[in-house]
């Protein structure tokens, strides 16, 4: 019974891509920035080969690595969560999704207001914590929804849970998703509920993403249509608009995501368990918190032996990322970076160096190849290079 556990350490990039300057990200290197913190310690990832990856020079190279590894290039245009995950799953996006540095068109927001029955505030690119600090009090007084965006292709709606009940906020976001298609087809509409009283508003774990449906086949749809299980941990189910997912659990933290992945590892199934650990990006990268990011990486590394111990004979563990989010640069946005891929399992050829790959999609191609499913997605399988 074959199983693949694919874990995305959200935003853990490993250095600028050749076109990073076009995205304003020259010099970005998320992992290296975190390695400058005294809280950074990843000996277990080092043993698998993390610091043996091309140009990853922020930790000790392992003389006898226990895993396989490579550096992945992003072939898609963009640097956001949706495009990154879609590419991991074998869907390369030829053009970036729309962004709104000057806010969304007034006619679109007017229709959103008409259909939701509520006014709107802000309509600018904004930090998620800053926007509730600056607009939260007015929102509580008026009931108007806080609408904002970022450098990513997102339409975000923040509302106080005691002013706009969660289910209403989700309905409002579904309305936005119906409106945001075609030329305005942003990658994600995101519900951002918060609680508390001014000036101590705090976002809750009831966030919910409403993504575009992938426009063509992905690793998830290929596997599920072939009769394999596709299990989602965290926001994977939202990123793919449930397409191809056969079972899912939501999470409230990296710790919860690791725990729920371990729960799936104890379950009998055949197929893919796809996990996203979002705290690196959401709590630390976007807030320029180098020490917090480093602590989160160290925490994952300490839990890694639990994951390795649960692997069965036919299991493969893959650990990667979807983009960067360098917490040491002035920007609070995602960064255009290479991503790591570290692979472990009983059948994995120890010390296999796959070099630098042309696309994240090689992961998806390799996964469907492992299950013997005829490939209909982008990417090139490296299965023959890692199976001993």
**Residue numbers belonging to the annotated binding site:** 10, 281, 286, 322-323, 334
- The C-alpha atoms of residue 372 and residue 388 are separated, in whole angstroms, by 17
3-state secondary structure of 7: strand
Q: Give me the DSSP letters along 118-164.
A: --EEEEEE--HHHHHHHHHHHHHHH--EEEEE-SSSEEEEEEETTTS
Any idea which residue has 């390369």 for tokens? 92
Task: Give me the residues paired with residue 274 across strands.
Answer: 6, 232
3-state SS record for 8-38: EECCCCCCECCCHHHHCCCCCCHHHHHHCCC
Of residues 371, 360, 380, the one with CA closest to residue 8 = 360
Contact call for residues 224 and 89 (beta carbons, < 8 A) = no
DSSP type of residue 182: G
Residues shown for the chain: 388
> How far is CA 178 from each of CA 108, 171, 185, 211, 376, rounded to the nearest angstrom?
11, 11, 9, 11, 29
Binding-site annotation, residues for Mn(2+): 10, 281, 286, 322-323, 334
**What's the CA gap between 301 and 41, in Å, rounded?**
8
Do residues 28 and 313 make contact, with C-beta atoms less than 8 angstroms apart? no
């Amino acid at each position: 019974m074959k199983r693949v556990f694919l874990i995305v350490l959200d935003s853990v990039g490993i250095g600028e891509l050749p076109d990073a300057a076009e995205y304003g990200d020259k010099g970005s290197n998320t992992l290296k920035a975190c390695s400058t913190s005294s809280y950074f310690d990843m000996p277990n990832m080092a043993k698998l080969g993390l610091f043996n990856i091309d140009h990853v020079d922020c930790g000790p190279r392992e003389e006898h690595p226990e895993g396989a590894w490579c550096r992945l290039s992003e072939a898609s245009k963009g640097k956001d969560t949706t495009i990154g995950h879609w590419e991991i799953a074998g869907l390369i996006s030829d053009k970036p999704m729309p962004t709104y540095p000057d806010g969304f068109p007034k006619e679109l927001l007017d229709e959103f207001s008409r259909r939701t029955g509520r006014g709107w505030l802000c309509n600018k690119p904004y930090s998620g914590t800053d926007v509730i600090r600056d607009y939260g009090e007015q929102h509580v007084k008026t009931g108007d929804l806080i609408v904002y965006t970022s450098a990513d292709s997102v339409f975000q709606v923040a509302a106080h849970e005691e002013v706009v009940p969660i289910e209403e906020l989700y309905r409002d976001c579904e309305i936005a998703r119906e409106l945001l298609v075609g030329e305005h087809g942003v990658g994600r509409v995101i519900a951002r509920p918060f609680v508390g009283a001014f000036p101590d508003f705090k976002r809750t774990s009831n966030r919910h993403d409403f993504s575009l449906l992938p426009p063509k086949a992905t690793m998830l749809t290929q596997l599920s249509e072939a009769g394999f299980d596709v299990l989602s941990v965290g926001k994977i189910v939202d990123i793919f608009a449930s397409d191809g997912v056969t079972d899912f659990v939501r999470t409230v933290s990296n710790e919860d995501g690791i725990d729920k992945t371990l729960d799936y590892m104890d379950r009998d199934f055949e197929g893919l368990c796809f996990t996203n650990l979002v705290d690196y990006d959401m709590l630390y990268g976007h807030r320029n918190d180098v020490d917090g990011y480093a602590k989160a990486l160290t925490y994952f590394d300490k839990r890694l032996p639990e994951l390795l111990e649960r692997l069965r004979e036919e299991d493969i563990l893959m650990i990667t990322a979807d983009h960067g989010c360098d917490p040491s640069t002035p920007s609070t946005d995602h960064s255009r970076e290479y991503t790591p891929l570290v692979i472990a399992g009983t059948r994995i050829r120890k010390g296999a160096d796959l070099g630098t790959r042309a696309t994240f999609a090689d992961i998806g191609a390799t996964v469907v190849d492992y299950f013997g499913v005829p490939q209909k997605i982008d990417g090139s399988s490296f299965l023959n290079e890692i199976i001993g």
